[in-house]
Structure 1
Amino acid sequence: MSQPAPLAAAPRKLRIAVFNRTFSPTGGGAERYSIALVEQLAARHEVHVFAQQIDHQWPGVAYHKVSAPLRKPRWVNQLWFATATWWATRSGFDVVHSHENTWHGEVQTVHVLPVKYSLFQGRDGLRRVLRWIKVVTSPRLLAYLGLERARYAARPGRQVVVTSESLRPIMEAAYPGCRDALSVVTPGITLPSLPVGSDRKREARVGLGLPAQGTCLLFVGNDYRKKGLQALLQAMTQLPDDVVLAVVGNPAHIAEFRALAEALKLGSRVFFLGALKDVSPAYEAADILVHPTFEDTFAMVVLEAMAHGLPVVVSGPKYCGIAGLLAQGANALLLDDPRDAGELARVLGDLLGQPALRETLSEGAAAFAAHYQWREIALQQEALYFSAVAAKSAGS
């Protein structure tokens, strides 16, 4: 584990509490986002992590295991986690930073669409009434909405952070009262050493059990369904036989999608690698990242792949936050409909047949990613901490 380069001295040292139910690099993009900020800021501040599952160690970070007497149903565990962390941090901290649906914490980072937005967006009249009936008869939905409403309520020092500009208008529509507290802090990356030579690529493939020859597509995501793996597997049937696919993510979904791959006669061309603590070898082994997601507020995996100089094929801005920052044909190829396996196959086929385009996208990807380094992102986050502290002091 490499140490980040030191940042300039902070105005003063803060005592910070950070909440994640899962604090592990295999948890997903939201967890890696939180971990990266903790690693960057631990040398400047006193950072305490509160989590139910901890698989991380970093110099200077204090870890606090939060009990989980009942992990299911999830909404009960969410209420338990919110209550337990409130009790543990109700005093003694300058800033409480929550990446979870909790009612307390000066800084609230939003990684997913608000529950309220998902439930009611586009529903009027009778459809809205029926949806409210569903809500009031569901303890689960009532719990999530209640926590969410308290989470985004205006209060002295409250900062609501979204991970992409595309999420800002959604938050404003769902919770207008938090508009003045909204800021955007995107995910970042730590730049790897580039380029990846043929020897290094071969070593990465051998280490992961991938074929040494041929073109390797890469899919990274914990929710295989929501991230569009089915359409990608269907598209694979229309690509040359020497094109293989490496799948990184939640092992709980492997059996279902391995069966689909077998049904499509792709069994020898699809490699399920499970969850990786360090995804870097997968990026080094791959030639192209494919991310046909149906819903991503940012898509940190796309940025990570671009930092490794990979051409990326990703869902358009309607589905994926980072796509709104990308330029079609210059640093990425954007999909109109990620559910359309035919479109995905055509885009990939064109990319495979045009080495010059792949080179253009690779260079454009690396140049884009260079503007999103964690060192600068951490300073943005730190500024929000001090803003929260000052506003809280003024309010009290």
Structure 2
Amino acid sequence: MKTTAGARDRRLRIALLVDRFGNRFGGAEAYGVELMRVLGKRHDVAVVARDFDSDLPFEYLPVRFPGWLPSWMRVLYFAWRADRLTRGRFDIVHSHMNGWAGEIQVMHVTPVRYNRVTRVKPLHRVTAWLSPRLATYLLLEKLRVRRTPRRRVVAVSGLIMDQLHRSYGEQLQVDIIAPGVKLPPPDRDGRRAATRARLGWDAHTIGCLLVARNPLRKGLPALLDALAQLPPHYTLLVVGADASTRERVRAAGPVAGRVTLIDPTPDVAQYFDAADIYAHPTLNDSYGMAPLEAMSHGLPVVVSSPVYCGFAQYLTDGQDAFILQDPRNGAQLAQALERLGSDPQLRASLKTRGLEIAREQSWETVASRYEALYEKVLRERN
């Protein structure tokens, strides 16, 4: 294989390994979709997944297994099948899954070893290795990060990189490539007005938004507490509501009347356009793509500290966003929301800075960084 041209200048065959491919499945899955949307303009892309829900014209290589199989067996089978489907067929195998297949290994979540071995007492470590389920996860993760000349481990945030180093040692080479964002079209005033009217919001309403696949883990309880402490013209819109979300809101008492719940949908842009503030008091996000997407739509953001949200480590409190030291503290959250809601100048300042951050994180920039990694892998292979 010739190496005179860079990865961006020649057409590569790329296989993406991902559990589910589609924007409606959540943040990590959307990362793969948007990245491959850009790379697919310059390269040939195939997707290895158990579910595919996209209009992108990629080859789909499905991985099927019986639903009754335990989760750890499904993960093991996926790793084996993905290796069989891709070996020798592609220039680059770009994996978002635990397993041994793939030159590019993208880590989206806290490492299993960090949670089950690094941070626990010695007896719990032994217990982890005695469990077939945990032992499988630990082994597949170890195979994923093992050092070879053709492999690159990528963390989506500094938080994940730190956890990897604490779990596998500082000698593990890790690149950080944060998620990107797709900038919306500039003229959206008409859509904003139409969506607000449909939600029953008037000109005085301060619409607070949370977009999450699991709202309870992304801070819904704290938001309900905060809403109870705010004036009546503050409302909450939750996009991605499931059964447990609806049950929690029903139990919130009178404040439930100020909450609007929307089922999971791939078309969340209309709700970003309609809102006034984006609130993300998450309890566990390795990065947090939703706050970045909110910034791209011109929303001021309230977000958990870097202890809880990897994206926050790139932000300055009060300048780029409001950062919560304790995302479970409803009073602290209410104070931040009220400051933003009552100060249009402050909202405008955070909006300007947020748009600057979003422009710096376009998916084109992210794709170029991956192409540079691809080129290193291809050079070392030759």
Query: TM-score per shorter chain, which class?
Result: over 0.9
1:176 correspondence with 2:181: no
Alignment pair present for 1:191 and 2:189:
no
Instruction: Note closer, same or farther for the CA distance 1:138–1:206 as it changes in structure 2 (3 Å cut).
Output: farther
One-letter amino acid matched to 1:219: L
Matches within 5 A, 1:353-364: 353-364=342-353
8 A Cα contact 2:7 2:374, kept in partner:
no
Q: What's the counterpart of residue 243 of structure 1?
A: 234
Deviations 1:14-45 (A, max 9, x none): 11110111111011111111101111011211
Q: Deviations over 1:134-171 (max 9, x none)?
A: 21332111111111011100112101011112322221
- Amino acid corresponding to residue 185 of structure 1 in structure 2: I
Q: Do the aligned partners of 1:210 and 1:271 also contact (CA within 8 Å) in 2?
A: no
Shift of 1:95: 0.9
Tell me if structure 2 keeps the 8 A contact 1:71–1:77.
Answer: no
Q: How does 1:215-226 map to 2 (within 5 A)?
A: 215-226=206-217
Aligned match of 2:151: 158
Give 2:111's match in structure 1, choosing from 111, 114, 134.
Answer: 114
Alignment of 1:90-109 (within 5 A): 90-109=87-106
Deviation at 1:177, TM superposition (A): 7.1
Residue in 1 aligned with 2:379? 390
The Cα of 1:204 is off from its aligned counterpart by 2.3
One-letter amino acid of the structure 2 residue matched with residue 187 of structure 1: P
Whether the 8 Å CA contact 2:191–2:270 is kept in 1: the answer is: no
The 1:322–1:371 alpha-carbon spacing in structure 2 relative to 1, beyond 3 Å, is same
What is the CA distance between 1:219 and its match in structure 2? 0.4
Deviation sequence 1:285-338 (CA, Å, 0-9, x none): 111100001111111111100011100000011111111111211220000100
**Equivalent residues of 1:153, 1:177 under 8 A apart:** no
Match of 2:248 in 1: 257
Could you list the runs of 5+ residues in structure 1 that have no partner in the other structure?
Answer: 1-7
- Once residues 389 and 250 of structure 1 are traced to their aligned partners in structure 2, the CA distance between those partners, rounded to angstroms, is 44
Q: Which residues of 2 match residues 1-396 of structure 1 at below 5 A?
A: 10-59=8-57, 61-70=58-67, 73-123=70-120, 128-176=121-169, 179-180=172-173, 182-194=174-186, 196-197=188-189, 199-206=190-197, 209-213=199-203, 214-249=205-240, 251-260=242-251, 263-393=252-382
User: Which amino acid counterpart does residue 304 of structure 1 have in structure 2?
Assistant: E
**Contact 2:112–2:137 (CA under 8 A) maintained in structure 1:** yes
- 1:330-365 C-alpha deviation (Å, 9 max, x unpaired): 220000100111111111122222221111111111
Quote the Cα distance in structure 1 between the aligned partners of 2:65 and 2:235.
40
Shift of residue 116, structure 1, vs aligned partner = 0.7
Cα distance in 2 for partners of 1:217, 1:73 equals 39
Supply the distance in 2 between the matched residues of 1:43 and 1:196 (Cα, whole angstroms). 27
Letter of the structure 2 residue corresponding to residue 140 of structure 1:
R
Cα displacement string for residues 160-189 of structure 1 (whole angstroms, at most 9, x for unaligned residues): 011112322221111227622x11111111
Read off the aligned partner of 2:63 and give its amino acid letter.
V
Aligned in 2, Cα 1:53/1:223: closer, same or farther, shift over 3 Å?
same
Q: 2:246 touches 2:261 (CA, 8 Å); kept in 1? A: no
**Residues 314 and 76 from structure 1, CA distance in 2 versus in 1: closer, same or farther, beyond 3 angstroms?**
same
One-letter identity of the residue aligned with 2:295: M
Cα distance change on mapping 1:57 and 1:138 into 2, 3 Å = same
Q: Deviations over 1:253-308 (max 9, x none)?
A: 33333333xx3322221111121112111100111100001111111111100011
* Maintained 8 Å contact 2:208/2:277: yes
Give identity over the alignment, percent.
Answer: 37
User: Counterparts of 1:298 and 1:244 in 2: how far apart (Å)?
Assistant: 26
Whole-angstrom distance in 1 between the partners of 2:303 and 2:273 = 19
| Cα shift readout 1:62-102 (whole Å, capped 9, x = no counterpart) | 11221131365322211121111111112211111111112
Once residues 146 and 169 of structure 2 are traced to their aligned partners in structure 1, the CA distance between those partners, rounded to angstroms, is 10
Deviations 1:369-392 (A, max 9, x none): 111111111111111112112223
Q: Quick one: distance in 2 between partners of 1:29 and 1:79?
A: 23
Q: Secondary structure, in 3 states, of the residue corresponding to 1:166?
A: helix
SS of alignment partner, residue 375 of structure 1: helix
Q: Which runs of 5+ in 2 are unaligned?
A: 1-5
Give, in whole Å, the separation in 1 of the partners of 2:357 and 2:8: 28
What is the distance in 2 between the residues matched to 1:120 and 1:298?
Answer: 22
Aligned residues: 376
Is contact 1:215–1:242 with CA below 8 Å preserved after alignment?
Answer: yes
Superposed displacement of residue 195, structure 1:
6.1
**Alpha-carbon distance in 2 for matches of 1:15, 1:70:** 31
The amino acid that maps onto 1:189 is V
